[in-house]
Amino acid sequence: MPELPEVEASRLEVDPYFTRYRIDNVEVRRPDLRDRFPTRFRERLLGQTVETFARRAKYLLATLTSDETLVMHFGMSGSFTVSPAGGALEIDKHDHVVFHMSSGVIIAFNDPRRFGLMTLLTPRQLRTHPVLSRLGPEPLSDDFDAPTLARACRGRKAPLKAVLLDQRVVAGLGNIYAAEALHVAGLSPMRAASALATADGEPKEAAFRLVAAVKAVLLRAISFQVTDRDRSTRFRVYDRESLRCLRRGCRGTIARRTQAGRSTFYCPACQR
């Protein structure tokens, strides 16, 4: 499943072709993805100009001149294909929604497994959306800092990794990059979250370390996506069970443990 860096890299790639351009035509090639498309989906998109194209957690949000927002989610296998103006787009059988922009560019939403999502929301629906309205701060924003994380962790006995995956604590952080950030910060994924805060909810040094690690890991992962570098060189712990730890001076071996039904990779020697 695409995680935040993959979604953000896709946003960066497609933004120049969506933002400030009018949607001249839309091909809706099936009645649904994960859910059915909303009523008059195509008609509500036609003639609308995309004012902004943003990301919230793992959702992409295109605000339209109609004041509605086109909300998209990649699900398990979604992606965009862009055909430049004047080029010929060979439609794949999994291209389920195809946008024809006023620039001549064609943008296809491809989703072989059809777990993706595409809907239109009014401003009120966006404010009260059961998922979007409950999301915590974006991990790459200034709103996600050590005091904010410490307040969320105060008194919580849950494992630190589980708290990082709580979307109300930090939006969009997934299993892979939570494990990576914990390794960079030198913190055990099994450590109680409360260890990051004082009894009064003030951040300890580990909270500052972890916030910095989350931001660094995500920025590095986005860079890898944008430059299309070798995936196998990207991870420090994820999917590296039984291999040596990459932290300088550490002689540990990466271990795997199951937490809440998901694999956690970490170094028992240097993550405390």
Q: Which domains, ranges and CATH numbers included, belong to the chain?
A: 4-134 (3.20.190.10), 146-266 (1.10.8.50)
- Measured distance CA(196)–CA(255) in Å, rounded: 23
> Mean pLDDT across the stretch 5-13?
96
Q: What angle do CA 170, 172, 175 make, to 5 degrees?
A: 95
For the cut 90, the answer to whether the pLDDT of residue 81 exceeds it is yes
Question: What pLDDT digit, counting tens, does each position of 92-127 carry?
Answer: 999 999 999 999 999 999 999 999 999 999 999 999
Give the pLDDT of residue 60.
98
Alpha-carbon distance of 37 to 42, in angstroms, equals 9
Residue 43, C-beta contacts closer than 8 angstroms, at least 6 positions apart: none
Query: CA 161 to CA 175: how far, in whole Å?
Result: 8
Tokens 């943008």 belong to 107
Residues with active-site annotation: 2-3, 58, 262
pLDDT classification of 205: cutoffs 50, 70, 90:
very high
What is the greatest pairwise CA distance in the chain?
A: 62
- Closest by CA to 193, choosing from 173, 217, 210, is 210
Alpha carbon separation from 268 to 107, 133, 223, 237, 255 (Å, rounded):
46, 37, 28, 11, 7
The arithmetic mean of pLDDT across residues 124-137, rounded, is 97
Residue 251: band (very low, low, confident or very high) from pLDDT cuts 50, 70, 90: very high
pTM of the shown model: 0.94
